[in-house]
Structure 1
Amino acid sequence: MTLYSYVVARDYGFAPNPFYGHCTLATCKPQIRKGAQRGDWVVGTGSKKHGLGDRLIYAMRVGETLTFDRYWSDPRFLSKRPNLHASIKQAFGDNIYHRAGGQWCQARSHHSHKDSTNRANVSHDTHVDRVLVSDWFVYFGKGAIIIPERFRRGKGETIIRGGQGHLSHFAPEFMKDFVEWVTSFGPGLKGEPVEFRRHLARPGAHLGRCA
């Protein structure tokens, strides 16, 4: 088992997307999406910008990996295709990529421009043709919980990255203890994303490039 940890700098419910019964990581974090295997854990901690630097946003155990085309066409995930004219939850859908005629198509979404494809995000996201799908997850969002000090300063190891990129080299006992702590809360969606209602879900808004 490998445990990956990173800072969720922008928590809109897009990356990760914790809705409709599955937590998915389909955009951003290409190196994690490339490396994570079934049974591995992906952990997102809070941003200092939001005063959540010592808190847990979410944790997901990888249950399967899919290509973008398979994710796009899988009936289980049709509800994760974005609809910018529906609810906020639907507007932040992360099922946004598929191929047509050998070219990547990007659905109008949080990662597109208002009226056109965002080529920079297409290149960044599809550089790794892999979507991570959870079979067990807990997502706290703006109700993020404080991470015990033993996971932040214990024995020279910390779960908190403190910047861009990710951490993935943890001692086996550290990972075991952390997973036991996470799973003690039980699975499911515990709260809405930090920035869910703070900004409009229109395409082209607050895009930037994911880390």
Structure 2
Amino acid sequence: MADDSRPYRSAVREQRAAETRGRVLEAAARCFVEHGWAGTTMTAIAREAGVSTKTVHDTGTKAFLLLEAFRVRYVGRGGWAAITDDPETAALLEITDPREALAVAVDWLATAHARSADLWFTLRATARFDPQLDAAYAEHLRLKTVTFRETAEWLLRCGVVPAAAVDDEQLDRFASLVAVAMGAETYVQLVHDHGYTDEQYRAWLRRTIPALRP
């Protein structure tokens, strides 16, 4: 007689493995934010996650854990390279109504930065002196540039930013402005350094994004 329980057991194992991985990554995020790169050990992450140190090592290297923890906090899921690799995020760029597009962009950014901005700064600072992380970070920045260019095209295409036709050079400059306005660095300056509330930051984005010009 066939063993009908095998697929079920496999699904349960996969679910448990995914839950464990999630605990490890969230524990890593908390440790990196609180203690920085140098102060975070694989043993500390294991203790925070309630798992063995071997489980943490099996999840990935220390550099991978920092980068993947940022990815999870920023988008809500890991495993992506460019943000538009994530199907749910990519679907946002299909919105054509300018009011809806602006509202969605502001909500998405404010939520993502609130979850991940501290971790982003740890990642950025660490990449300067860790060769393994530096290579991954450089590739992440390249893909981030691509994503902001796609975002800039979307803002123009759906009319959030009214503009006539632009050439490639103008689009690249505009994408740079979009990156500054929407980036984690600006979020940290406004919210952490200057005391903006979440709603004040969102209001600033609602004013600033449509005022950008190529």
TM-score tier by shorter-chain length is under 0.3
Q: Give the number of the structure whose residues are more often helix, by fraction.
A: 2
TM-score normalized with structure 2 length = 0.25
Q: Give the number of the structure whose residues are more often strand, by fraction.
A: 1
TM-score normalized with structure 1 length = 0.25
Larger Rg: 2
Higher relative contact order (CA 8 A, sep 6+): 1
